[in-house]
Amino acid sequence: MESKNHVELQQLLLNYHTLNLDAINYSKPILNCYYGVMPKKDIDVESLNCICEHLIEFAKHTNLTILIADIHSYLVHEYSTDVELWTNNIIKTIKQFMGEAKYEIKLGSSFQTCNNYNLDLMKMCSKVDINQTQIYMERFKDCTKISDLIYPLMQVLDETYLEADIEIGDIHQLEIFNLSVCYLYKLGYRRCLYVVL
């Protein structure tokens, strides 16, 4: 019999576009959920506030982790010395918007530099076909740096290393969610449920 918490979570999920709904494992007493955000110079405060309102609802029914993707930021911003400042700013803003909600903040650098993660990243690079992935990653089709291709592959791996049952993202993440569905199982990992805000 499903717990009250799971029933409430199912009701919450009805409000969103989801991908891979059958991946959810309701035998666990509480599911792990994560949302990732990359630190950058200018925070879109209005957008982040809106996202946090959704995250507060998920925090009521899941173990919510907010990933601060600092390594991703280094990849995109050519190892800017400002990433640490941007990271601190976005953490402060998230804490303000999330209020008393129960959640964990985790830095990407706390696990994305481990040997297993890097080995999995290399395995993924050997399996992903650039021509095929551009179908799923329209916004990366004109990339000029290798880091532009590594960024989405890291996001695919993040859900595994955060032991996520649910990954939350906006409509711009849909291509990467599709990439996860197509490739994560090739590394022997389970895919999670993807929620589009």
Range 158-180 average pLDDT: 89
- Percent of the chain with pLDDT strictly greater than 70: 90
pLDDT band (50, 70, 90) for residue 72? confident
Residues 137 and 120: their CA atoms lie apart, in Å, by 20
Q: In which band, very low, low, confident or very high, does the pLDDT at 2 lie, cut at 50, 70 and 90?
A: low
Q: Which of 103-112, 133-142, 147-156 has the highest mean pLDDT?
A: 103-112
Q: What is the mean pLDDT of residues 51-64?
A: 96
Lowest average pLDDT, out of 40-49, 74-83, 129-138, goes to: 129-138
pLDDT at 63: 96
Residue 97 vs residue 170, higher pLDDT:
97
pLDDT of residue 110: 96
CATH number of 4-196: 3.40.50.620
| Closest of 121, 190, 195 to residue 159, by C-alpha | 190
Is pLDDT at 135 greater than 60 in this prediction? Answer: no
Q: Helix H segments across the chain?
A: 4-13, 45-59, 70-76, 83-98, 115-127, 130-136, 146-161, 174-183
Q: Is the pLDDT at 136 greater than 60, yes or no? A: no
* Whether the Cβ atoms of residue 150 and residue 75 lie closer than 8 Å to each other: yes
Predicted TM-score of the model (pTM): 0.90
Give the model's pLDDT for residue 111: 96
Q: Say whether pLDDT at 173 is over 90.
A: no
Q: Which of 17-31, 68-82, 95-109, 159-173 has the highest mean pLDDT?
A: 95-109
Q: Write down the mean pLDDT value for the chain.
A: 87
Q: Decide which of 168 and 153 is more confident.
A: 168
How many C-beta neighbours within 10 Å does residue 36 have? 23
Listed by start position, the domains of the chain span 4-196
